[in-house]
Structure 1
């Protein structure tokens, strides 16, 4: 899996979310979740085995992934499409979580026992998101604002205002387009 620039991966359980979202490389046109075998391998790399995936699970996981990418684009300043919000609401409703409290009194969300297939994997992702939201790190998981990239990165910057996966590539391209547009508009006015 590529990691643009020198960005460090997302911390803790958010790495699972980031890794799921980056199973597709939009710019290169490669998707690593096309088959049951690929989904099974992804889940196993993240400690989830024996989930018994089907073709429908592959489709559901990919649909969830893309709706979740839109949510991460929202973290970088884009509007989350209503269809993506609805898809997330529907999918997350089929992957229930349980609130647990440990011996120290700390609360965290965990997937309900007995889930299988994509519901189990999606519940793991949902628990990671909910637990990250509780500590304020979820909004820092962003999808690159460059439409042809959309690589998901964790914004480690102090202000948390990053928009591009890497300033040297996607940010530079955007700034150059804005510069050229400004120069072109200046010529047509004069």
Structure 2
């Protein structure tokens, strides 16, 4: 949907996971074994991955000031299942977040969210306002008030609907 560039660092993982479902067509790329492999999702983990995806989408809608399109498990509950550790490099003293247990999609997402919080970029990852879209995008606008994944598609449609509603 979006012509925007990918989100920075770990947020690209969150953005690409949310965008595995095209709401307009109903296509779910997590149905593809190749896509599941790219995310490190076993077929048995598919329901949990979809639950995480929709919880992320609801959070990204909240970042844009919109309610979620349906009831979902709160993201905090899902990420609490994937505790993180602060790993310190003995050579240079640098720190990084690492999963406390097995590396799962949820633990990788938890690390990405935590790193984005520290960087101040978490709330810039949003979901498109258009109810038939809700595509994840990284808002690079100066004021951080982007509303659509694409001004040429979703933004233009919304503006045209408003214009038509005002016309006599």
For the aligned pair, the TM-score class normalised by the smaller chain equals 0.7 to 0.9
Contact residue 39 and residue 58 of structure 1 kept, 8 A:
no
The answer on 1:33 being equivalent to 2:30 is: yes
- CA–CA distance in 1 between the matches of 2:25 and 2:70? 27
Q: Which of 98, 109, 115 is residue 97 of structure 2 equivalent to?
A: 109
* Structure 2 runs not aligned, ≥5 long: none
Quote the offset at 1:83 in angstroms: 4.2
Q: Which of 67, 85, 90 is residue 98 of structure 1 equivalent to?
A: 85
Quote the offset at 1:131 in angstroms: 0.2
1:144 corresponds to which residue?
128
1:73 corresponds to which residue?
61
1:18 corresponds to which residue?
15
Q: Which of 104, 109, 119 is residue 125 of structure 1 equivalent to?
A: 109
Quote the offset at 1:64 in angstroms: 0.9
- CA–CA distance in 1 between the matches of 2:152 and 2:69? 28
- CA–CA distance in 2 between the matches of 1:22 and 1:63? 14
> Scaled by the length of structure 2, what TM-score is found?
0.87
The answer on 1:175 being equivalent to 2:159 is: yes
Pair 1:40–1:33, CA change in 2 (3 A)? closer
- CA–CA distance in 1 between the matches of 2:15 and 2:96? 20
- CA–CA distance in 2 between the matches of 1:161 and 1:102? 38
- CA–CA distance in 1 between the matches of 2:147 and 2:68? 15
1:134 corresponds to which residue?
118
Contact residue 30 and residue 36 of structure 2 kept, 8 A:
no
> Scaled by the length of structure 1, what TM-score is found?
0.77
Q: Deviations over 1:37-91 (max 9, x none)?
A: 3564222xxxx5xx7x242x1001101101110101111111358943x442332
- CA–CA distance in 1 between the matches of 2:165 and 2:37? 45
Give the length in aligned residue pairs.
167
Higher helix fraction (1 or 2): 1
Quote the offset at 1:14 in angstroms: 0.9
Pair 1:124–1:101, CA change in 2 (3 A)? same
- CA–CA distance in 2 between the matches of 1:82 and 1:109? 31
Question: Which entry has the higher C-alpha Rg, 1 or 2?
Answer: 1
